[in-house]
Amino acid sequence: MRRLPLGPIEAFVVVARTQNLTQAAAEMNLTVPALSRRVTLLEQYLGVSLFTRLPRGLRLTDAGAAYFTALGPAWETIGRATEAVRQPNLRNIVRISVMPTFAANWLMPRLHRFQTLHPGVEVEVETSPDLVDLRARPDVACAIRLGQGPWPEATAETLLPVNAYPVANSSFLNANGKPAGPGDLLRHTLIETGHQPAFWQAWFTAAGVDAASARYRRFDNLQVVYEAAASGMGIALGLEPLVGSYLESARLRRLFPTSVRLPQSFHLVRRQAEPAPTRAFILFRERLLNEAAAEPYSQLKASDAELNGPAKAALVASR
């Protein structure tokens, strides 16, 4: 048997799974041209075209689709087998995929307590605003995701609920006046993230406000959204547990005293067909759940979050 070109095969699998050269290159820590060269080398090795190049993106050919269907499960099996026989000291590493804002504003301030309790376990935090496909990343033990789920071939445990309230910088409020109620927000520029545009809509719906005329400025992640609001560029929707450090430092202020419980939550997500978890992961998961349970807002009564629109608006408007 000829020697298999494993590097180009891995490149093909990642590109075929993501259908996006930029995302695949970032996942493999390669440049897009370097990734394209690997795919081209594989096509030359096989003597067939695996992708049809389009003006925007690419599409699997029939041969490429058949190859990926046969190869994908085998590649996952190779990954799981490799992980299972890793050196014991390497298996004390827990690699976790997290959105940058959650890592910076909630996870990292608490991670030192875990490391103090378990110095023999190393937690590696990999941040990305995009969802990592755990099926293709056997080196990633778990992910923390914001959403409602379910996620394909994954099991999820609810970690933290998300409570939302508008926030702004004091200088912005001094210059523009503090909104008297939810409807007044429509007079101002609202800041949101392009990844989760439903947050503001969910808040306005709970407050009983038709937000069709709202004006938004969008950024690609929540950390930038909060920095923009702290710089006086507009009003952001503060999400608990992410906005706490901005309130504590007085860089942002809550505009209204009540919160809206969003339908999205933070979840701890693992592969569905995962073998027995390592001791390191079990310890990390236990500590993570304990830290989440200690958050006072996570115990809010459901009735506070399920008020109808007019009642919620009246409460939010109160000072």
> What's the token pair of residue 8?
């180009």
Same domain, 79 and 226: no
CA distance 58 to 74: 23
pLDDT at 86: 57
CA torsion 16-21-26-31 (nearest 10°) is 130
Q: Read off the pLDDT of residues 4-27 as tens digits, 9 standing for 90 and up.
A: 888 899 889 988 888 888 888 877
Same domain, 138 and 265: yes
> What's the token pair of residue 21?
């050269």
Domain limit, last residue, from 49, 84, 119: 84
Q: How confident is the model at residue 72 (pLDDT cuts 50, 70, 90)?
A: confident
Same domain, 296 and 155: yes
* For residue 310, pLDDT beyond 50: no
* For residue 107, pLDDT beyond 60: yes
pLDDT at 67: 93
Domain limit, last residue, from 84, 103, 131: 84
Q: How confident is the model at residue 312 (pLDDT cuts 50, 70, 90)?
A: very low
CATH code, 69: 1.10.10.10
Same domain, 59 and 98: no
Domain that holds residue 214: 87-319
**What pTM was estimated for this model as a whole?**
0.65
pLDDT at 83: 63
Same domain, 181 and 307: yes
Average pLDDT over the chain reads 83
* For residue 168, pLDDT beyond 90: yes
Same domain, 115 and 80: no
Contact criterion met (CB below 8 Å) for 8 and 30? no
Domain limit, last residue, from 40, 55, 84: 84
CATH code, 107: 3.40.190.290
pLDDT at 300: 41
pLDDT at 18: 83
> What's the token pair of residue 203?
């808040």
* For residue 260, pLDDT beyond 60: yes
Average pLDDT over residues 126-140: 81
Same domain, 115 and 204: yes
Q: Read off the pLDDT of residues 76-87 as tens digits, 9 standing for 90 and up.
A: 777 777 766 655
pLDDT at 253: 95
Count of domains forming the chain? 2
Same domain, 69 and 142: no
pLDDT at 319: 26
Q: 138 in helix, strand or coil?
A: coil
- Higher-scoring residue by pLDDT: 149, 293: 293
